[in-house]
Amino acid sequence: MRQWGELGIDIVSLATSKTYLYHYELGDTFFEVVELSPVKKGKINVHANLLKTERYITINLHLDAEVELCCDRSLDLFYFPIHVDHELIYKFTEEVDDFSDDLLLIGKNESRINLGQHIYDLIILAVPMKKLHPRFKEDNTDDLTWVYSSEKKEQQQENDSDEKKEIDPRWLILKTIKNKNIK
């Protein structure tokens, strides 16, 4: 895990079957931890609701963020709003292994959980592949548009049908020979 010390939760001191609330306000320094991060600036409000039982820790994360992105079309900088709700489930176990994305395994002797990597991953996954400045959203560029109109297609179909009608008789003979060889 990367170094997000302020996002660590000491789980040893938490009582069982009790809910704990955590609130974090993160800024630009949060993204500086990752060297090649596609997001460099932003503000994130994190609300974490933690429930600890004897075998599991369940954390419900609610993220409200606004990150600075660079428009793919105009290279203008703009702020993009992100809202994410996600549930993390940690299971105490003897063997620590990557079991699945939904269930995180931690050792019974583990004393801290760091939410930094999870928050970072959720923010980065919420950033769209195609980053467009809000002023370009009215263009409806995400909709499929046809380059050719139906009139051109009809003309092309008519031309194709005319070509089929006007086949040279010599080609017809060759076509029949070809069909006999295929069968």
Contact present, 60 and 87 (Cβ < 8 Å): yes
Tell me the pLDDT tens digit for each residue of 65-122: 999 999 998 999 999 999 999 999 998 888 766 666 678 888 888 888 889 889 999 9
CA distances from residue 182 to 164, 169, 177, 178 in whole angstroms, order as listed: 21, 20, 9, 6
Tell me the pLDDT tens digit for each residue of 16-63: 888 999 999 999 889 888 888 889 999 999 999 999 998 899 999 999
Rounded Cα distance, 151 and 131, in Å: 34
Going 11 to 17 to 18 to 22, the CA torsion angle's sign is: positive
Mean pLDDT, residues 155-165: 61
What pLDDT shows up at residue 49? 95
Find tokens 């380059």 and name the residue. Answer: 147
CA distances from residue 100 to 26, 58, 73, 96, 105 in whole angstroms, order as listed: 28, 15, 37, 12, 9
In this prediction the pTM is: 0.69
* 147 half-sphere exposure, CB direction, 13 A CA radius: 0
Across 53-170, the runs of DSSP E, i.e. the strands, are 56-70, 77-93, 103-107, 112-114
What amino acid is encoded at 9 in this protein?
I
Reported as a pLDDT band with limits 50, 70 and 90, residue 160 is: low
Contact present, 30 and 4 (Cβ < 8 Å): yes
Give the rounded percent of residues in the chain with a pLDDT score beyond 90: 34
